Structure formats: C-alpha cells, structure tokens
Chains A and B, each alone.
Chain A
Amino acid sequence: MEAKTSFKASLRVSKRDIPALLGVLKPAPLVPAKERFLPYEGAKVDFDENLTTNSPVKTEFMPDGGASFRFDFAKKRVLPQGKEPAKIIFGVNPLDIRALDILDGIFLAKFPAYAARRKAATVVGAGDFGKSGASFDLFLHDEGLDYLAIAGSEKGRALLSRHKKFFRKGEEKTVQRGEKPAWDPTLKGDMEDLRKAVKNADPSVWEKVATEQLCLGCGICSYVCPLCYCFEVEDGVPPGAKAGARCSRWDSCMLASFTEVAGGHVFQNALPLRIRNWYYHKFARATSERGTPDCVGCNRCFHFCPVAINFREVLKNAAANPRKG
C-alpha cells in the first residue's frame, strides 16, 4: 500500500473485456459486486453509495467465526500463524477501500490472522478513484467505456504485467484519490462538530430511534458496516478433536449480550443506551481517537435496516437536540 494520494496511470481496460479478464485471473477472483459489471458494454458502472453490495469488505479479512489462532491439545501449544490462501477481491467499492485504511490501522499490527489474510489478498478496487482510500493493489477508475488502471502496490503492478493483453497504453494521466473522507454527512463535513453533537445529544434522540422509529435492536447495521469490527471470542473445538481454534464471531453493540458480564449483569440493557453506543463509538470516540469517524458513508446500515433507520437523519436530530441543562 502506498500512502501517497497522487498517482500516474496510462493503462486502460475496456469494460467489455472485464468478463474475459475475470475468467483468466488466478486464483479465480471473488467479485463482491458482480452485478455492477453487467451489462459490461457501455454500462455506467457507478460505484455510487446507493450501489454498495451487501457484504462489506471486512467479511474477507475478519470473517464471522474466523480463526484468530489455532491450538493443539496434544502438543499443548498455540500453533504459529500459517499462510492464508491467496485471493483476488475484484471490484471493491472505493468507500470500502477507505474503510480498509482504517481497519488496517487498527488491526494490521495487532491481529496476526487479519494481517495474514490481508497479505494473501489482492484488492482490486473499481469506481470513482476520487472517493477511494489507499488500501488497494489495483484500482480501476471509471472513465465511461474504459477503466483507467491505477497500480497501488507491487501486487497490483504484477497483476497488470501478467495480463498485459487486456490493457492498452494510452496517454498518461495523474489522478488523485480522495484525501479526506468523501463522506459528506450532515454537518458540512466537520467531524469535530459531529463529535460534539453526538457526545452532547439529549437522551431523547436515542429513545426516539427505539420507540418511534421502531429499531429492532437486530444489529444488522453493524454486520453490514465495513467499520464495525467488534467481535466475540469463542473456542471452536469439533467433538472429539485434538485441536481447535479460537474464533472471532461478529458482534454488535446493538445486542444486549454485548455488555453482559460474568454473573449476568447487562450494562446496556435498555435499547436506547445501545443505540447511543453505536453512534457514540462511530461518530464521537473514533473521531477523538483517530480524527475521523468509523464511517465511510457507504449507506449500508440504512439500506439493510429492516425498518430503514437513516443514520444521517439520526445525526441531524442529535445535532438539533443537545442535552438540556
């Protein structure tokens, strides 16, 4: 990954050739947004926020129930982190690439299984480069009938040279990836104002989400979010097995079990408290820790919420209703 924001690129691939390219890539690529490449010819492939796919890119690097490490009872030891199988993830949304920047910052140095999965993967982004983060190996910038191929790492350059025949050389262009979050929320993009608004919002804001907007507390807004990374730890030992794995199961602060401690006490038993936690973590605590919220504005939490709770509206409401007194 290269932290630079300005890239030079001259190779182009026709959208029409994408199916053929997908057919020859090895290992066979995962295409999280396959329908976005259909119909290939002349299609406006718009990686617009409304077109993000169901599965966020975190699914590949911290899968639900994935093994954090393996252990062996007979040898009484933790097994070393092995290599993960190589994979190509093709057509990752630029906002998800931005989310990967943040996830990498949190987990790369501290979570060997995550790091191994990252290392084994080739991330091919596609869409509007201006919205993208830095965590891509190759990015296909949408130019109408063609994609401009922007290499972001050695892996990306290797992929380009292996599949030369699909890419033709044209005039060289300098392109800029998004430096700031493309996320333009409610408060004119001022994350600091947003942080204060969420921190100081009146409790009635969260109560309203629970009772008037009918939040089900199902946690879907976390499972689909590329920047919800909480997990629960579970040991997976098949019956009779002599070895097992410590696994990380997805979790969500929207669930009562999230704050359950030994003895059965649940700190955030009331749903409005859990709703507040979700907003507070993403838009206040993350901003104080890293200067940017744990949100890239992909809109999945809104699109996949069974009762269509729109986080932007909730944030607006939070800003308009500071705590009284």
Chain B
Amino acid sequence: MPSKKKPLGRRRARPTAAPKKAPVQKSKPLVAIYDLTDCEGCELAFVPVVEAVAKTCEIVEWRLTQEKRMDIGDRKIDVAFVEGSPMSAEDREFLGKLRERTKVLVALGACACIGGVPALAGTAEREKFMSLVYSPEYKPKSDTPALPLDTVVKVDYYLHGCPVLPEMAARFLEQVLVGKAPDKFGGYPVCLPCKAAGNPCLLIQGNPCLGPVSAGNCGAPCPTFGKVCYGCTGAVKGGNFTQMRHKLAEILGEEMAEAHLRIFLKDEKGKR
C-alpha cells in the first residue's frame, strides 16, 4: 500500500485533476472512496472489505491507499463512498461536484450518516476552545458544526456504524455492486440482538444505554461487552425519543440526557 504523508489537521478530499493513467476496463463498476471531517476509522475498517470484492470493481480513487487517482474521462463513478462530515464551503462544493459525477452516493460511517462523534461536540463554547487549543489568530475553514452528509447533498444509501462493521460493510458493498438495494437500517433496536445474546440490561442497572432507540443492525457488540450503546448506528425507525429522554434524564439529569441524544442529530425523517 503506497503511503502518502498527510498534513496534520483536517483532511479533505480534492476532486481536482490528477495525472493520467491507463483507461480502465469498461465492464467493472467504478468505486471511489473519500473522506471529510472524521477519524478515517471507517476507511480502515473498509480495507479488508474492499480487498474481498476488489476483483469485481475498479477503485478509481481512494486517497488513503492510492498515490494517484485513475483517469476515468467523463465516465461516471458508479459508487462513491464518503466518510466524514462536511464543515466548510470547500467540502460542500466538493460534494456538489461529486454528486453530479456519481450514480450511487453512499454515506460511510456515523459521521457521514448522522454527524457522529464530531457532532457530539457542544457548540456553545466552540470559539473559546478553538482559540485555546490553536491560537487566537487561528482562522478555521469550517463555517458550520459537523453535519450529516445529506444536509448538503442527496444521499442514496447509508452505511452506519462507528466504525462500520466489516461484515455489515461487506454485505452492503456486495449488494450495491450488483445493483441490489442494500439491507435497511433501523428496523429493530439494539435491544433485540442484546436480548438474543442473553445480556443483563444496563439500562435497568441505571446506565444510560441508548439501545432502545438505536438501530440494532450492529448486533449489539457494546452491551454484549458490558458497555452502554451510544447510538452509533443511528436511530431506530419509530424510536420513542420522548420516553428515552425521560428515562435518561432520570439517570443523568436533563442536560446530560440532551447531550447523549445529540448523536441522533437526525432520525430517519431527518429530524428529532
């Protein structure tokens, strides 16, 4: 895997022209993978998954693993995965252009799907911390808090998780590559696989577990290992957030209950 030193700080995918390469075969679907504001954990989880299906597709751009992108002329990208949250004008412009040259746009991981960890940050004292951590002169490029991808462009599919689970991602990629709609997320909550595993209930023990309102497609790894679910797979369809907030407030108080629920910047209807 060729490695390329990246500058520290936020990384941005650049849709600018790159050196020409041999034209790619027409028959294989073209796949590109980009990242915005995130930790690249999903991309790393994605490496073995992509390797497994590499024969069936052509990776035309993946900055994490490639020195150069392929020249695809004016062909459209069949499937583009975007990891991370857009936060600046540059990000938004990039996404707009990507959308135009992409058939299927997939939000990869919690940051892109729901805002994820970057969106958990409180925004009230953002400027103060920015100046403390960097310097008072520091001018951030970002002009919005971390937001889900679909606040900027139309997203066709969501591949949730923080990071995405390899088995889930493999199934997803296969389905998308053969042109099948991938499995839906959020039909059942984390409590289902949690109870199927026979776990004691952390919520009953007084811990702030978001399992009842979080999509259970992950298979409940966190409560199975004794940690509360914090909702990285997104909201379950029809989740009862009002009651969840009540229950959390009993355990944590109003303010922290709200902070915990911030992971669901949006539910399946785009609001909470």
Contacts and interface: CB of A to CB of B under 8 A. Distances in A.
B188 A220 contact: no
The CB with the most chain A CB atoms within 10 A, among B53, B198, B199, B211, is that of: B198
B222 to A, nearest CB: 15
A251 B195 CA distance: 12
Contact of A218 (B170, B186, B189, B246): B189
Given A54-B198, A65-B196, A240-B53, 8 more contacts: A59-B196, A214-B246, A216-B240, A232-B187, A239-B173, A239-B174, A252-B188, A307-B247
14 contacts: A54-B195, A216-B213, A218-B240, A220-B201, A239-B53, A239-B173, A255-B188, A255-B236, A256-B238, A257-B188, A260-B237, A266-B238, A269-B238, A304-B204
A249 B183 CA distance: 13
Contacts of B237: 255-257, 260
B201 A306 contact: yes
Interface residues on B, range: 20 to 34
Interface in B139-195: 170-171, 173-174, 183, 186-189, 191-193, 195
A204 to B, nearest CB: 17
B267 to A, nearest CB: 11
Given A216-B213, A216-B247, A304 B188 contact: no
Given A64-B193, A306-B247, A59 B198 contact: yes
Contacts, number: 99
Given A223-B191, A266-B238, A216 B212 contact: yes
A216 B213 CA distance: 8
The CB with the most chain B CB atoms within 10 A, among A215, A234, A249, A251, is that of: A249
Contacts of A37: none
A10 interface: no
Interface in A16-67: 54-55, 59, 63-65
A239 B170 contact: yes
> Which 5 A-B pairs rank lowest in CB-CB distance, beginning with the nearest?
A256-B238, A218-B212, A64-B196, A223-B195, A257-B187
B244 interface: yes
B178 to A, nearest CB: 11
A92 to B, nearest CB: 15
A306 B204 contact: yes
A254 B125 CA distance: 40
A183 interface: no
Interface residues of A, number: 35
Nearest to A65: B196
Interface of A: 54-55, 59, 63-65, 210, 214-220, 223-224, 232, 234, 238-240, 249-252, 255-257, 260, 266, 269, 271, 304, 306-307
Given A217-B212, A220-B201, A240-B174, A257 B238 contact: yes
The CB with the most chain A CB atoms within 10 A, among B186, B187, B191, is that of: B191
Contacts of B195: 54, 220, 223-224, 304
Contacts of B173: 239
Contacts of B187: 232, 255, 257, 260
Given A219-B192, A232-B187, A257-B237, A239 B171 contact: yes
B29 interface: no
A256 B173 CA distance: 27
Contacts of A64: 192-193, 196
